[in-house]
A and B are shown apart, each in its own frame.
Chain A
Amino acid sequence: MTLISKKRRPRIRLELLAHCYRLSLGEGFAGDLEEDFNYLQLNSGNRSASLWLWAQTFESFPTFIRIYFQWGWAMMVNYFRTFFRNIMRYRSTSMINLLGLSLGMAVFLVILLFTRSERQFDRFHKDYQKIYRLVSRHPASKDSYAGTPAPLGPALKEAFPEVEDYCRLKQRSYVVKTTHLSVRESRVCMADSNFFAFFTFPLIAGNVNTLLINPNSVVITESTAKKYFGDEPPVGKIMNFHELGDMIITAVCQDLPVTSHFHFDLVIPFVHEKNRYWGSWNYKTYMRFHHALSGDDLKNKVDSFFKGKDDLEQMLESVHYQPITDIHFQYNRSNWEPAVNGQFLHIFQAVAVLVLLLACLNYINLSTAYAQRRSKEVGIKKSVGVTRNQILRQFLNESMMMAVFAEIIALFLTMAMLPLLNQFAGHALDIPWHDPVLYCGAAALVVIVGILAGFYPAFILASIKPAVVLKGQTIVKKRSHLRAVLVVLQFTASIILVVCTLFINRQLHFINNVDLGYNREALINIRLNSALYERSSQIKNAMLGLTDVSEASLNSYTANSMNWNQSVYWEGQTEDQRTSMWLFSADTDFFETMDITLLEGAERVLNHHPGKDKAYYVLNEAAVREVGWEDAIGRMFDMNSGENMNGEVIGVVKDFHFRSLHHTVDPLAIYINKRGRWLSLRVNADNISQSLANIARSWQELAPGFEFEYEFLDDRIAKSYREEQNLGVLLNIFTALSLLIACMGLISLASFTVSQKTKEIGIRKVLGASTKGIAINLTQQFIKWVLLANLLAWPVALWGVRAWLNNFEYKITLDWEIFLLAGFGALAIAILSVSIQTVKAARTNPAENLSYE
């Protein structure tokens, strides 16, 4: 016979067929098959040999499948049956196992959904990798600012071929009127006409390319359309904008996803913005490049472009490019919506893994402790010839099944938890039922948890020696190091979580109650329309006439959202002292209204009547320190904003927290101005709603036709910590759940220990031990474990808390009491859950215990 070249040998099919008959004759069969094949190939040709092989394959495959699955299925049915029998037999332990796993999985799922939605921010834009926002970093302050001059975008597009397009935005509020409705819309976006082509906000009606070309056009969102026009088709309808006049609706876009870093209700063309000069840094500029770029490359290019263009060079020195997907994670004082600290997401992911691990540890601990229960079954199976691997597979199957049930319960728990979380934490999380990722993830989770939780117990059970267990000896060691390690680990994780949560809560409480240097209670800020600016002091005086108002001031101060920071000049300033300061304007009543202490010049400030000839300033202590004056009163000071603002310092205030506590108190200059855009009123705190009603009534008389828009100062302050508060709430919930899981494990472990020691307890009692003594004796071991867990947990928690607190300039001290509190709390909970079992055991009648068997 001649040799057949390898090419013509359908190796795979031959091997496959041989594999199908994995009989004891495997090798011989495979050889025979090949020999037959070769014979046919020689005598009848390639084709018929191949056909013959196909025929063989089809002939034998059904049998193979049937046999394979028949026995596989029979085995599965058997596994299921034993699994359910054991669940029903040991209901309480099984329930604890199941609940622990499902709680762990539910927490894991919720956190995953949460972090996933956070990371999805702004990724719905087409080509989001190519979109950048221009931000500037002011040399004087650490944080960045997203305002840019209006001409910058067009200039960059013209100068650089890399730039595909730009889009400028500004958010403003307008009073909008239709025939039925008149509302102040605070989320009106002024945008370049390519807005809807630049960003991906799908339109429901209208043409992308023409909708903002006409200066009188406006695009509204679906829900805005609903608000104004109900079910009528909105396109072509007219809306009257205060100051702008009638605008025609040209398009309707879908409501924005939560995962956008800014939201709007209406969009109007950018042409309505008049102040388009280089000095006005009031517009957000977004750029889209032809391909994703490294920021540094671009920066260098841009810098070289502006080189030699005098003021522009210096001005644009600080401009950087921020990828659109980073905006949600980087604090920026000009962001329209609060950013999330990316570090928090890491904390949450760590918590998710930790809680899941806790649940797995629980399962491992309980299953190994109760391995004795299954040992006879394993013994008998092994003695009739079941192999170790089969036993391993059986128990892994069981833990997988457990994980499947836990996952189902976890999904229900998640469904129940999400509305609550959404309400508490202001998210719009939902289980993505339509997303295949969910199902793959769920399957992966089952496999991971099943293996993680089930492998060790399965291994223990599979290594049982039938001779030992069938003789009736126990396989579970009385003192297992592993069990101790697992309990210690569980408590370590729980204590870390508790310590972190306690510190986070304390810091949040601190922020809400710290002395800000002014009184935030019962203070309302009323917004004055620019049309009311000239009449503002008249309105203020009228308000002061009300009995409900004790103090009033006109100013431009909006707590925690300061955004006026610019270069200042003073008497004797040297070149290297060039710096910028925070600024706002206020009248002289501001200090009394806010309860801000004037350190110097109090008399002069309070009795001051601003003249027209000269500007007057009040500085804070930090500003005086920055300048270096011994005595600040009477010195010359100037904020250069184009007009003649050269003036005199007439007072110094004690430092107060004019921005959020994330920041230090920076140098601040208050420009004395008797008019203002905000009217601050200190109202009668006894009956705020009544006072508010009275103020609203007199507002109607003073400023007819203008909306009464107000906010409470403390609300506004609270808002700037909203993100932290929300996350704090979430963290509290998850910590409580993880503690619950740890306790469940401890309770059932205690009951196991007690059941192991029934006879010992009986004998001790017969010999005269007291109930108390026995309870203490049984609890001792657990106490030792928890104490050890404390020692392990504290350094880790300390490190974590310190890292988090570094985000705040003003923070609580790391009191050791908190560590002790968490430690003793964990200890108390442990003792409590253990003693439920031990006291019960210690009180039983020894006759009962010893007569057992």
Chain B
Amino acid sequence: MGYSLKDLTKIEETVILAIWRLGEKAYGVEVRREVERATEKSVNYSTLYATLEQMVRKGLICKQFGEPTAVRGGKRKVFFKPAPEGLGALKEAFERQKNVWAGVNDESFKRGCI
């Protein structure tokens, strides 16, 4: 099987995992915080939103509008949730990672071999 569009890129993987983990409250601000927390790096808005948009287009996640609030300047929240395709892709990635990283643990880096 060759590389397909369904394969997740690193950033997609990170973002979709963050959304999955956040569950009900997964909207832009929270997603960004979660990603920053997990990766310990600051995330650029353009990167994050381009990724989100692309995943919506690919059908990996789906979006849903919330209620507008004053603190957001009267704008609605957009909540995200992994779509079945997204979860499938995650599973696939997870399986592949398991195989690829098989036998690797902290000790391996100290020893210098698996």
Contacts and interface: CB of A to CB of B under 8 A. Distances in A.
Interface hub of A4, A33, A56 (most chain B Cβ within 10 A): A33
A63 B71 contact: no
A445 B49 CA distance: 43
Interface string B36-57: 0000000011100110110011
B113 interface: no
Contacts of B44: 59-60
B70 interface: yes
A836 to B, nearest CB: 58
Contacts of B46: 21, 59-60, 63
B50 A23 contact: yes
Interface stretch (A24-32, A294-302, A664-672): A24-32
A30 B49 contact: no
Interface stretch (B8-16, B75-83, B86-94): B75-83
A35 B52 contact: no
A25 B72 contact: no
A35 B72 contact: yes
A460 interface: no
B29 A25 contact: no
Nearest to B78: A28
A31 B100 CA distance: 40
A276 B30 CA distance: 97
Contacts of A29: 28, 45, 49, 78
A24 B71 contact: no
B73 interface: yes
A620 interface: no
B25 interface: no
B6 interface: no
A3 interface: yes
Contacts of A63: 46
Given A21-B45, A28-B28, A29-B28, A34 B53 contact: no
A28 B77 contact: yes
Contact of A25 (B32, B56, B68, B73): B56
A433 to B, nearest CB: 45
Interface residues of B, number: 24
Contacts of A31: 28, 68, 72-73, 75-78
Contacts of A3: 70-71
B45 A25 contact: no
A34 B75 contact: yes
Contacts of B32: 32, 36
Interface residues of A, number: 26
Nearest to B79: A28
B71 A38 contact: yes
Interface in A1-40: 1, 3-4, 9, 11, 14, 21, 23-25, 27-36, 38-39
A512 B73 CA distance: 81
Interface hub of A3, A11, A14, A24 (most chain B Cβ within 10 A): A24
A204 B70 CA distance: 72
B71 A27 contact: no
B93 to A, nearest CB: 24
Nearest to A20: B46
A180 B70 CA distance: 94
B56 to A, nearest CB: 7
A29 B63 CA distance: 13
A28 B56 contact: no
Interface hub of B27, B45, B73 (most chain A Cβ within 10 A): B73
Contacts of A36: 29, 32
A476 B56 CA distance: 43
Nearest to A18: B75
B72 A21 contact: no
Contacts of A4: 71
A56 B53 contact: no
Contacts of A30: 73, 75
Contacts of A28: 27-28, 63, 65, 75-78
A35 B49 contact: no
Interface string A401-429: 00000000000000000000000000000
A32 to B, nearest CB: 3
Contacts of A32: 27-29, 32, 72, 77-78
Given A31-B28, A33-B45, A56-B45, A25 B78 contact: yes
A39 B63 CA distance: 24
A60 B45 contact: yes
Interface in A44-66: 56, 59-60, 63
Nearest to B31: A32
B66 to A, nearest CB: 9
A24 B27 contact: no
Given A1-B71, A60-B45, A25 B52 contact: yes
Nearest to A59: B44
B70 A21 contact: no
Contacts of A56: 45
Contacts of A21: 45-46, 49
Contacts of B45: 21, 29, 33, 56, 59-60
Contacts of A34: 71-73, 75
A594 to B, nearest CB: 94
Contacts of B71: 1, 3-4, 34-35, 38
A48 B59 CA distance: 37
Nearest to A9: B73
A11 to B, nearest CB: 8
B42 to A, nearest CB: 10
Contacts of A35: 28-29, 71-72
Interface of B: 27-29, 32, 44-46, 49-50, 52-53, 56-57, 63, 65, 68, 70-73, 75-78
25 contacts: A1-B71, A4-B71, A9-B73, A11-B73, A21-B46, A24-B53, A24-B56, A25-B56, A25-B78, A27-B76, A28-B65, A29-B28, A29-B49, A29-B78, A30-B73, A31-B75, A32-B28, A32-B72, A32-B77, A34-B73, A38-B72, A39-B29, A59-B45, A60-B44, A60-B45
Nearest 8 Cβ contacts at the A-B interface: A28-B78, A32-B28, A31-B75, A31-B72, A34-B73, A23-B53, A60-B46, A32-B29
